Amino acid sequence: MVGTAGPTVLITGCSSGIGLALAVRLARDKPAPVPPVIATMRNVGRSGALAAAAGPAMGRTLEIKQLDVCDESSIRACLDSIPGRHVDILVSNAGVGMAGPLECQSLAAMQNLMDTNFFGLVRLVKEVLPDMKRRRGGHIVVISSIMGLQGIVFNDIYSASKFAVEGFCESLVVQALRFNVAISLVEPGPVMTEFETKLYEEAERADYSRTDPETAEIFTKLYLRNSRDVFTSLGRGQSRAHVQHTLRVIEAARPPFRHQTNVAYTPMAALKHADPSGALITDAFYKLVFKYDAVLRFGLRAIRLLRWKAQKVKAGARLLGFK
């Protein structure tokens, strides 16, 4: 699906987190001379971390361009700057998060989230798909979320945006296959990056006076505590793993349509399909949140301990010369 000179890869949302790590990894793996990896971001003034991480790849196999997924003219300008507007692999990674009681979130903030997470993807695909169809080749890789398969309490709008992404791609993939264009949804579970850290910091500082005291207490005392444990236990080290998973999807001879990066979430997602009425998954989440949260926290801490021990064993093996 790519030319002999190597694929032209365009990635959005590269100022930090997964986008930055993926761009650097792809650029370092590229031999020169080839089309450079095109790492884009809304504000190129925030490109310092990417440039530093890229090192000698910067300007050689990595190029930074401005692209705001909420601005059609910005997307067109970026693509117009690429020879022939030729993109072999689009990685749609730009996104924003939102968590908290629904009553405390403004409609403007919700619309901004949908504009970035969903319509941003639509704008990108509208620009790259026609050329991919004409060439009968290309790969659109969309960084979705496990929350595009299963809604999580207090993530109502974020989940809605990812459900929209999943439905959009699920509908489009059949047409795309007719033109030999692959679409892949990469669905991470918890991943500890700057994105998540900032989201939790904002949640802890937010004003919850617009909701009832019981809901505010459930969110601040129960959800935030348990969610932090989930991300610490299941999300630690997942940033690097997520990059590895995404690379496998990009490099696959027959790219999968859906690929989950954290197997710990697979059983919960499976419950939804096991019972079409929704009663099973709803009951399971209700009990986890309101009845067995202490058991949940204990289990997550046990996972952290096991991972810590595994890391110590690996470190000891390296010291002894074992790989």
DSSP 74-135: HHHHHHHTSGGG--SEEEE-------S-GGGS-HHHHHHHHIIIIIHHHHHHHHHHHHHHHH
Tokens of 196: 């998540």
Predicted local distance difference test score (pLDDT) of residue 280: 85
Cα gap 258→61, rounded to integer Å: 29
Cα gap 141→249, rounded to integer Å: 8
Predicted local distance difference test score (pLDDT) of residue 5: 59
Predicted local distance difference test score (pLDDT) of residue 202: 77
Q: Is 288 labelled as part of a ligand binding site? A: no
The terminus-to-terminus CA distance of the chain in angstroms comes to 35
Secondary structure E strands in 167-322: 181-187, 258-260
Query: Does 310 or 48 have the greater pLDDT score?
Result: 48
Tokens of 177: 């296959």
Q: Is 255 labelled as part of a ligand binding site? A: no
Q: Is 171 labelled as part of a ligand binding site? A: no
Cα gap 93→139, rounded to integer Å: 14
User: Are 25 and 39 within 8 A, CB to CB?
Assistant: no
As annotated, the active-site residues are 158
Q: Is 31 labelled as part of a ligand binding site? A: yes
Q: So where are the chain's domains?
A: 95-263
Q: Looking at residues 202-206, what average pLDDT do you find?
A: 79
Q: Over the stretch 27-68, which tens digit does the pLDDT of each residue have?
A: 988 766 578 999 999 999 999 999 999 999 998 999 999 999
Q: Is 148 labelled as part of a ligand binding site? A: no
Q: Is 32 labelled as part of a ligand binding site? A: yes
Q: Is 51 labelled as part of a ligand binding site? A: no
> pLDDT tier at 251 (50, 70, 90 boundaries)?
very high
Q: How far is CA 186 from CA 171, 222, 239, 246, 268, in A?
A: 16, 29, 13, 7, 17
Q: Which residue has the tokens 């099973």?
A: 280
Tell me the residue type at 73: S
**Strand, helix or coil at 259?**
strand
Tokens of 87: 């993109």
Cα 294 to the chain's mean position, in Å?
A: 29
Q: Is 30 labelled as part of a ligand binding site? A: yes
Q: Looking at residues 237-260, what average pLDDT do you find?
A: 88
**Comparing 188-197, 229-238, 285-294, which segment has the lowest mean pLDDT?**
229-238
Query: Does 218 or 266 have the greater pLDDT score?
Result: 218
Helix (H) or strand (E) holding 37: strand 37-41
Tokens of 270: 């499976």
Q: Is 26 labelled as part of a ligand binding site? A: yes
Query: Does 221 or 175 have the greater pLDDT score?
Result: 175
Q: Is 13 labelled as part of a ligand binding site? A: yes
95-263: which CATH topology?
Rossmann fold (3.40.50)
Q: Looking at residues 89-101, what average pLDDT do you find?
A: 94
Cα gap 297→227, rounded to integer Å: 10
CA-closest candidate to residue 191, choices 251, 267, 243, 255:
243
319 class by beta-carbon count within 10 Å (0-12 exposed, 13-18 middle, 19+ buried): exposed
Long-range contacts of 63-67 (CB under 8 A, 24+ apart): 63/36, 63/37, 63/38, 63/39, 64/14, 64/39, 64/40, 65/38, 65/39, 65/40, 66/40, 66/41, 66/42, 67/12, 67/40, 67/41, 67/42
Tokens of 157: 């709008």
Helix (H) or strand (E) holding 138: strand 138-143
- What would the DSSP string read from start to end of 48-69? HHHHHHHGGGBTTTEEEEE--T
Helix (H) or strand (E) holding 9: strand 9-11
CA-closest candidate to residue 42, choices 24, 18, 27, 64:
64
Q: Looking at residues 11-25, what average pLDDT do you find?
A: 94
As a whole-number percent, the residues of the chain with pLDDT over 90 amount to 58
Tell me the residue type at 282: T
Q: Is 49 labelled as part of a ligand binding site? A: no
